Amino acid sequence: EVQLVESGGGLVQAGGSLRLSCTAYGFRVNDYAIGWFRQAPGKEREGVSCISMSDGSIYYDDSVKGRFTISSDAAKNTVYLQMNGLKPEDTGVYYCGKAPPYVSMWYEGVEYDHWGQGTQVTVSS
């Protein structure tokens, strides 16, 4: 059974850091694209970052470039999102999703066929 489990969320002050984990079950993360999305209250879900180890592609939304880093650990079958320099506007529930390895529009949720349950990130000012 395909499953994605996120962890690592929490409450942090502005300027702080968190590392989110997305552990996959039932498939190998290196065979697919794994994306991170977030959803703030009253807002639509938005793509944050995506990694596809099939061709080494990495993508970031402009709002997180230079602050967030996505990486993959094949041995642990886990994708990480290191978040530094957090801002209050980064607050939301963060989800990871699985997409085909050559995802064409990584920022579009429709490309993803499985999602985790989400982890809450709250950044206080």
Per residue in 86-116, pLDDT (tens digit) is 999 999 999 999 999 998 899 988 999 999 9
Alpha-carbon torsion (87, 17, 61, 32), positive or negative: negative
Which amino acid belongs to residue 93? V
Q: What is the 3-state secondary structure (H, E, C) of 39-73?
A: ECCCCCCEEEEEEECCCCEEEECCCCCCCEEEEEE
The pLDDT value recorded for residue 38 is: 98
Question: Are 44 and 25 in contact, with CB atoms under 8 Å apart?
Answer: no
- Stretches in the chain below the pLDDT threshold 70: none
Question: Are 23 and 4 in contact, with CB atoms under 8 Å apart?
Answer: yes
The pLDDT value recorded for residue 82 is: 98
Question: Are 13 and 123 in contact, with CB atoms under 8 Å apart?
Answer: yes
The pLDDT value recorded for residue 54 is: 85
The pLDDT value recorded for residue 115 is: 98
In this structure, the strands spanning 119-124 and 10-13 are parallel
Q: How far is 39 from 120, CA to CA, in rounded Å? A: 10
Q: How far is 74 from 78, CA to CA, in rounded Å? A: 7
Q: How far is 19 from 10, CA to CA, in rounded Å? A: 10
